[in-house]
Amino acid sequence: MSAWGGFATAWLRLLPAETAHGAALALLKSGLAGRAREADAPSLGTRVFGLDFPNPVGLAAGLDKNAEVFDAALDLGFGFVEVGGVTPRPQPGNPKPRLFRLAEDRAIVNRLGFNSDGLAAVEVRLRARDRRHGIVGVNLGKNKDSADAAADYRAGILALAPFVDFLVVNVSSPNTPGLRALQAKAELDAVLEQVDAARAAATAQPPLLLKIAPDMDEAALRDVAAVAEAHRIDGLVCGNTTLSRPSGLKSPNRAEAGGLSGVPLFPLALELVRAMYRATHGRIPILGAGGIASGADAYAMIRGGASLVQLYTALVYQGPGLVGRIKRELAAFLARDGFAHVADAVGAEHR
């Protein structure tokens, strides 16, 4: 897989960013991306919100927006895959160009704007999946022109809850006007009240997670933590892309509007994980996402409080072989520090 994956990754980088994304999906659909051959180290297995993960390394939402290649992504060695974001009605997203590489910074800026095939199309694909193949969750968004965000999340939960292993309510995309305002305490409480009702009414009740942004001050983070605990949210995805531009970015595309992901996001994402772990006293499992590009990054997230980690942008620059490398490096760090299981290392830096 590594030789072919390296060639494919180099070829994809010659294409415009969004064209390359489409080509990557085509490669995954074709089966040419290959399969992981190594068995996961026993130390990497972990149980989080009632699900047994073969390893804690997941594919973040954004690559498989429309639930087209989740099985192929699992075959790369991911412990789980998050598809989406999915909106109730199909929508094209923002005008192109809307996806930009920052190659010098190992980063991406996107302002895709929840381009989605919609719930009906995604439901057909998820309904047909073999659940024995691996753990798949769905990221739920709202339509750009929707006046009732909670109704959009309710529609997503009722449609897809029976066919996925976990649900993610995304209130943190920077590319849908007004969405991040839902993270404010009163607004979030009102949304989650309706989300709770939707989950109770659904024909299945998979774990419910909340995806939050890294661009919040400490008071806002405490508010989110309090509301999440009050509504018994099963997990927090920390976090999303950032609207900030860390100093030292070299690429001219740093000036493009949109959310920044990749290596420059990692320090901000790591601090978000640490802050939410402190705010919740470790009572809510955390998925650490943002800028992870190595086993050392994944291990820092786990020691900072993440039970699971997710990546996406690093695949653009390092290819599918990165998944296996991160798992090998993570297992080595656990063994070095005397942790028999990854769960033993969660939040270790706080102890």
List residues with catalytic annotation.
173
Do residues 231 and 258 touch, judged by C-beta distance below 8 A?
Answer: no
Query: Which among 109, 110, 106 is positioned nearest to 248, based on CA atoms?
Result: 106
CB 211 within 8 A of CB 237: yes
The whole-angstrom separation of Cα 94 and Cα 263 is 25
What is the C-alpha to C-alpha distance for residues 72 and 34, in angstroms, rounded to an integer? 8
CB 119 within 8 A of CB 153: no
- Are 152 and 114 in contact by the 8 Å Cβ rule? The answer is no
* Strand 107-110 relative to strand 259-262, pairing: antiparallel
How distant, in Å, are the alpha carbons of 8, 22, 64, 89, 161 from that of 68? 19, 11, 6, 17, 18
The SS3 call for residue 165 is: coil
3-state secondary structure of 114: coil
